Amino acid sequence: MINQDQLLAGLDSRLEDLTTKLLDTRKVTDNAEKTVTELEQILDLVWSAQQHTLNSYLLSSSEHQAALREIERLGSAFLTRVIATYFTAESMESDIDSPIDISGFQMKPSLLTRASNLAAKLARLTGDAAVPSITWALTPDLQIPIAELSFESCAFGWKTWAAGALFAHYIATGRISVKNETILELGCGTGIVGIVTAKMGAKQVYLTDYQLETLKNCQRNVVQNNCSETAKVQALDWSWVTPSLETSIPESASAEIPPLSSTTFRFKVIFGADICYDPLHGTLVPRTCAQFLAEFSDARVYFVTGLRRGVFDADIEHFENQMTAWGFVVVFRADISRDDFIQENDHDTRIYSESLAHAIFQSSAAVSSDEKQFRFYEYRREKLTAITHPSINNCIVYEQFENRFNGIIALLIDRSVDVSIISNTLEKLGNMIDEAALHEKKAKVDATYVNPIDPNHLAIIKKLGGNYCTFVVNSLSYYSNEEIFVLTVKAQKVLQQMQALFSDSTVHGAAFKTGITRNIQISNSKWLQLRELSFSEAAYGWQTWSAGIVFASMIATGFVKFPKTAKTIFELGCGTGILGIATTCTIGDEAQVILTDYSPAILENARHNILLNEVMIPENSKNISVRELDWRNVCNFDSSLLETADVIIAADVCYELEHANLVPPVCNSLLRKSNESRVFIMSTLRRGFGIEIAAFEKAMCDVGFSIEKIDISRNSFEYRFPFLNSVFEGVDKNFRLCIYKRDAK
């Protein structure tokens, strides 16, 4: 019979010694096996004590209970690291500070078995083998606590893999836009990608996996992060999707977590992080995407996968080949290293980004000291099949419209800069909208008339057609003035046709009318809502131009800093007001911001946009105002405005020679005579407009300003401001920021 005194004699010192060893697991090499042996002996000792009714004394001691709880926490973390080392040649990020160091350590299969058995015994002893929650700081402002289980509980869904953290970071920083989208995540694991997607403004996100324990843990993480309304956890086994794209859910599927139904759900966006590490996945994942991805031209599949060595290369190649075989084409693919990751982040968050980079990219593999690398994929469907429209009486009309629809969509996506093609595209788009409006009118007059136009087609036409017309106006640099005028008039006519169709449409709501409101991202965490008018209402102040978006982003992210002494800031040619609003959102009540323009419609719209963004500037709205200012009337400026501006800002105010004569005197009249005063002007470097830019810069120097020039291209911000990528789409745009100050006298 076991002597109680013998059991207890060395327990205190052994518990203390084991705790020390577990705390030191960040530096273990071959000592891992010794630590496993010691943990086995301690658990055998405690297990024996329980079996011999010593539980009342041995485990009731508060000191012993505290020591056992610490061993439970550290031991579970240690064992999961040991198990992960065998399967992936990677180590789990430590819940203390840094990853476990296993350089030079060779895992033995027998040790894997012992570690797995120990994890199970520890779970039975303590009632919980889960590793404590790990908090992922994905941006300086976004922290996500994630509970992780043991490998025994849910296999490869047990932890947050580095590819998932990288994917979540891209979503959190806006590189992948999720706002108002309905999204499917495949192989959610701990749920970090889906949770961040929900927090970044997705309309709905479905987190799916196949193992019950993984799904239950994911559900707990969703609840812990307060996003249950948006993030739905559902079961999906990729093997349920047959080669004929039918989903067969077995009766044995657990009722505890509802299965995802393919008959109900089609998604515009699909996510997957590190879900292709087995040849079978390369077969199952592509056809699952084919089953669940909506058949829209802008529907996308995004993957991030770890580039592991050896046999995994063949798995990735098989996956890529199968995606092609199932009708997907690569929109974008990039391999990502630690250096790439660091460059992608804002200059003022370098300490944060390097810390996160260490957690994601640090490798502890025994066979190599190389850091991890990842591959990012963006896929779309190569071809769109016809979308069936129910209850169509006039099939001939439908088929004719469908054929033209496919043709016009190809033109809208192509965005050719050839004048004749643009003119032809606008004409076809206008004719199609007129035809749709005719059938819409018939349907309103005759309740028995079935509109043959597919509402899904109209929704696509509305989005792509509106974007295309905006693209035409944004591409002025490619044409002579006469051609600009003709194409702009055509584009405006089409926009007015779309307004007439959609403003009172029973087909797809009243989402298209004069005064479209856009959500524009200007930093990782800031979005502005800006209403845009029609060209006929506000001329060139009708929309938010690219130069304004780039400049606003530079202000919001701290890339452009105003003098600390600045108390009054004027925006010239404010248009939709993006610069003034972004400035107020950034500097708060440090300065009075005055938005100026000359058109009553533009001024009214700027006031409207200030109110739209009150949630961003609730305490500072009194420090932002709108005033009329006509550059042609400098002599009659209100005397209270003269020499009151510490800073003047403007975007895209230099596209005619006349501006070189008008704007410099305005700046000279408004700007305070001080060495600290500055004028910041952002211009789009359009082809054929070099004379206007040069004349403007010379005129500013002639009235007493010196100039500093910063030229900006797509490469300038591709990594620093990934959310600006869309600004450069369609045309290879370049910008110039000029900073003027008064010459020293």
Say how far apart CA 449 and CA 442 lie, in whole Å.
7
C-alpha distance from residue 653 to each of 417, 571, 589, 664, 681 (Å) = 24, 11, 27, 11, 8
Mean pLDDT throughout 132-142?
Answer: 77
Residue that wins the pLDDT comparison between 501 and 699: 699
Q: Is 521 a residue whose pLDDT tops 60?
A: yes
Q: How would residue 449 be classed by pLDDT, with cut points 50, 70 and 90?
A: low
Q: How confident is the model at residue 718 (pLDDT cuts 50, 70, 90)?
A: low
Q: How far apart are CA 123 and CA 153, in angstroms?
A: 10
pLDDT of 518 reads 76
- 134 neighbors 164 (Cβ within 8 angstroms): no
What's the pTM? 0.42
Contact (CB, 8 A) for 461 and 436: yes
Mean pLDDT over 617-627 rounds to 76
Q: Name the amino acid, one letter, at 182.
A: T
What is the mean predicted confidence (pLDDT) over 47-54?
48
Category of 226 on φ-ψ map: left (φ > 0), alpha (ψ -120 to 50) or beta: left
Residues near 686 by Cβ (< 8 Å), separated by ≥ 6? 476, 477, 655
pLDDT at 103: 38
Q: What's residue 81's pLDDT?
A: 57
- Whether residue 224 contacts residue 147, with contact meaning beta carbons closer than 8 Å, is answered with yes
Q: Say what angle helices 455-474 and 481-502 make with each other, to 10 degrees.
A: 150
3-state SS assignment for residue 117: helix
Of the listed ranges 130-144, 412-426, 529-543, 686-700, the one predicted with least confidence:
529-543
Output the pLDDT for position 594. Answer: 95
Task: Determine the pLDDT at residue 98.
Answer: 32
- Amino acid 77: pLDDT: 61
As beta bridge partners, residue 375 has 305, 335
What are the two backbone dihedrals, phi and then psi, of residue 3, each rounded to the nearest 5 degrees?
Answer: -85, 125
**Token representation of residue 534:** 């029609």
Residue 276 has pLDDT above 60, yes or no: yes
pLDDT, position 404: 67
SS3 628: strand
pLDDT at 178: 92
Task: Give Cβ neighbours of residue 34 (< 8 Å, ≥ 6 apart).
Answer: none
Residue type for position 620: N
**Mean pLDDT lowest for which of 117-121, 437-441, 530-534?**
117-121
> In this predicted model, what pLDDT tens digit does every residue of 1-32 receive, in sequence order?
444 455 455 555 666 666 666 655 544 445 66
Q: Do the beta carbons of residue 678 and residue 732 sit within 8 Å?
A: no
Separation of alpha carbons 516 and 514, rounded Å: 6
pLDDT of residue 524: 76
The shares of helix, strand and coil residues in the chain, as percent rounded to the nearest 5, are 50, 15, 35
Reply yes or no on whether the pLDDT at 328 is more than 50: yes
pLDDT at 447: 67
Least trusted range by pLDDT, from 316-330, 397-411, 669-683, 730-744: 397-411
C-alpha–C-alpha distance, residues 413 and 409, integer Å: 6
Residue 288 pLDDT level (bands cut at 50, 70, 90): very high
Confidence of residue 88 (pLDDT cuts 50, 70, 90): very low
* pLDDT tier, 743 (very low <50, low <70, confident <90, very high otherwise): confident
DSSP per-residue codes, 718-742 = TTT-GGGGGGGSSS---EEEEEEEE
Is the pLDDT at 327 greater than 70? The verdict is yes
Per residue in 537-585, pLDDT tens? 555 666 788 889 999 999 998 889 899 889 999 999 999 999 999 999 8
Q: What is the mean pLDDT of the chain?
A: 74
Q: Please say whether the beta carbons of 342 and 349 come within 8 A.
A: no
The amino acid sitting at 37 is T
Query: What strands, in cross-sheet order, belong to the sheet with 374-381?
Result: 231-235, 204-209, 182-186, 269-273, 300-306, 374-381, 328-336
Calculate mean pLDDT across residues 320-348: 81
Strand partners, 378: 302, 332
Q: What is the DSSP string of 433-501?
A: HHHHHHHHHHHHH-TTPPP-S-HHHHHHHHHHHHHHHHHHHHTGGGS-HHHHHHHHHHHHHHHHHHHHH
* Distance (Å, whole) CA 612 – CA 615: 8
Residue with tokens 């006298």: 745
Among 32-46, 344-358, 648-662, name the most confident range.
648-662
* Best CA proximity match to 300, nearest among 178, 170, 164, 163: 178
Question: Is 527 within 8 Å of 613 (Cβ atoms)?
Answer: no
- Other Cβ atoms less than 10 A from the Cβ of 64: the count is 18
Query: What pLDDT, in 10s, does the model give residues 457-515?
Result: 676 677 677 777 766 665 544 444 566 667 777 777 777 777 667 654 433 333 333 45
The pLDDT, as a whole number, for residue 595 is 96
User: What is the CA angle 223-227-230, rounded to 5?
Assistant: 130
